[in-house]
Amino acid sequence: MSIASQRMNRIKASPSIVISAKAMEMARAGHDVIALSAGEPDFDTPDNIKIAAMRAIIEGRTKYSPVTGIPEFREAICRKLERENGLSHTPDQILVCNGGKQVIYNALTATLDPDDEVIIPAPFWVSYPDMVLLSGGTPVVVATEGANEFRLTPSLLEGAITAKTKWLILNNPCNPSGAAYSAQDLEGLAEVLRRHPHVWVLTDDIYEHILYGDEPFATMAQVAPDLHGRTLTMNGLSKAYCMTGWRIGYGAGPKELITAMSKLQSQSTSGASTISQWAGVEALDGDQSFIRDNVAVFEDRRDLGVSILNQANGLSCNSPNGAFYLYVDCRETLGKRTPEGGTIENDGDFAKYLLDSEEVAVVHGDAFGLSPYFRISYALATDRLEEACMRIQRACASLSG
Ligand SMILES: Cc1ncc(COP(=O)(O)O)c(C=O)c1O
């Protein structure tokens, strides 16, 4: 009999983490593998943030944090939400967590009863459906269209809502598609939500700053202030501040929700790292100019990746407005034969072929709920990205039939 619970058997390990771990293992064994699988900026955490953390350590600000976060950091988060998003929150409406991931996990676990439904537009970040399942809820996956840049439309949303719907999860800009929602897009979705007052919105804004083009960032509670009372705005330091390993995310929402989430956190991990939160105060209050510089580098890499991959036989991808991913259509490679005599039946086969033949790790679209695609992350050194994309081109050229 398995030691794992039935609840645990409902979920799988995060595919992007599994593939990245495999790539790392291959690299340790001496292979020249290029991992395009991890969602992690290659830039170092800025020095001013590191120094703030060192200062906290040296000055002994190293004790347990309150479960909801140190007051100074929650105040800094309120300032950030006001300054950048026009959102007004008090510190008791903020919960600091161990990464953005825990915000989402806490929210779902604290609110879902058996059979409650959560609408998740696909392609989605790999963890959403499994977190819903773990919480006893039912993920309702809604496929979006490449032709509409993988954005959820009001009619798709309307068609997915039932009496059991508890949450809509909206990720803007989106991992894995890079799709960004304009204020106008969000207003269209808000119009639907107004007709269904039992539906809450969890907006995952972790890629807020990784945005290209002229359209400013918009978030639901800002565009639709009347939905403020049923919106959880989630954000974190991992991506824009290059702080993946510091494990800091936060949620801002109605006090009743935040209280339920912090009750859960009080019985699981307690407060997030005090040192990381002091670094977070500096991240949010300090110099922001490096973000613009990093985003300019990401934009050049996006253009490079789009250009090389669109020249590969059987591949096509659009040029997304946000995040640091490309979601590449590989339907024209299906049915083709590899030099070893295998057949590409699906996007999982294609990703495996890239790893076996050219030592490039990507994540297959099935993991994100929409096939046949694969995701590449371009958050790695530009020369390695270029080399990886050329290898993908070569792998495609070697397919026949
Ligand atoms: C869409 C999305 N949400 C949340 C997270 C989690 O972020 P964190 O590393 O802060 O837990 C990620 C990380 O990859 C992500 O891509």
CA gap 317, 329 in Å, rounded:
6
* C-alpha of residue 22 to centroid of ligand 1, in Å: 20
What token pair was written down for 199?
């539906």
Burial of 21 (0-12, 13-18, 19+ CB in 10 A): middle
CATH of the domain at 202: 3.40.640.10
Give me the pLDDT at residue 284, please.
98
pLDDT at 248: 98
pLDDT (0 to 100) of residue 41: 94
Domain that includes residue 180, residue range: 62-285
Which domain-ending residue is among 244, 266, 285? 285
Q: Is 175 close to ligand 1, i.e. is its CB under 6 Å away?
A: yes
Q: What is the pLDDT of residues 144-181, one digit of tens each?
A: 999 999 999 999 999 999 999 999 999 999 999 999 99
Is 238 touching ligand 1 by the criterion CB < 6 Å?
Answer: yes
The pTM of the full predicted model, rounded to 2 decimals, is: 0.96
What does the pLDDT read at residue 173? Answer: 98
- Determine if ligand 1 sits within 6 Å of the CB of residue 265: no
Considering the domain architecture, whether residues 151 and 235 belong to the same structural domain is answered as yes
How many Å lie between the centroid of ligand 1 and the Cα of residue 357?
A: 30
Do 245 and 386 fall within a single domain? no
Indicate if ligand 1 lies below 6 Å from the C-beta of 349: no
User: Does one domain contain both 97 and 115?
Assistant: yes
Q: Among 256, 285, 314, which residue terminates a domain?
A: 285
Q: Is the C-beta atom of 244 inside 6 A of ligand 1?
A: yes
Q: Are residues 269 and 312 in the same domain?
A: no
Closest CA to 392 of 311, 331, 336, 319: 311
C-beta of 39 in contact with ligand 1 (< 6 A): yes
The residue whose CA is least distant from atom 7 of ligand 1 is: 100
105 C-alpha to ligand 1 centroid (Å)? 11
Domain holding 363: CATH number?
3.90.1150.10
**103 C-alpha vs ligand 1 centroid, how far in Å?**
10
Whole-number Å distance between alpha carbons of 11 and 34: 28
pLDDT tens-place string over residues 311-328: 999 999 999 999 999 999
d(CA 134, CA 15): 16
Is 372 or 11 the better-scoring residue by pLDDT?
Answer: 372
Alpha carbon of 347 to ligand 1 centroid (Å): 23
- From 107, 128, 127, select the one nearest 119 (Cα to Cα): 128
3-state secondary structure of 87: coil
Do residues 102 and 159 both lie within one domain?
yes
Residue at which a domain ends, from 240, 266, 285: 285
Same domain? 128 vs 223: yes
Q: State the pairing for strand pair 325-329/373-377.
A: antiparallel
Ligand 1 near 318 CB (within 6 A): no
Residues 303 and 387 in one domain: yes
57 within domain boundaries? no
In terms of domains, do 306 and 278 share one?
no
Give, for ligand 1, the residue of 238, 244, 250, 276 to mutate: max count of ligand atoms closer than 8 Å to Cβ: 238
Q: What is the DSSP letter of 169?
A: E
Residue 1, pLDDT > 80, answer no
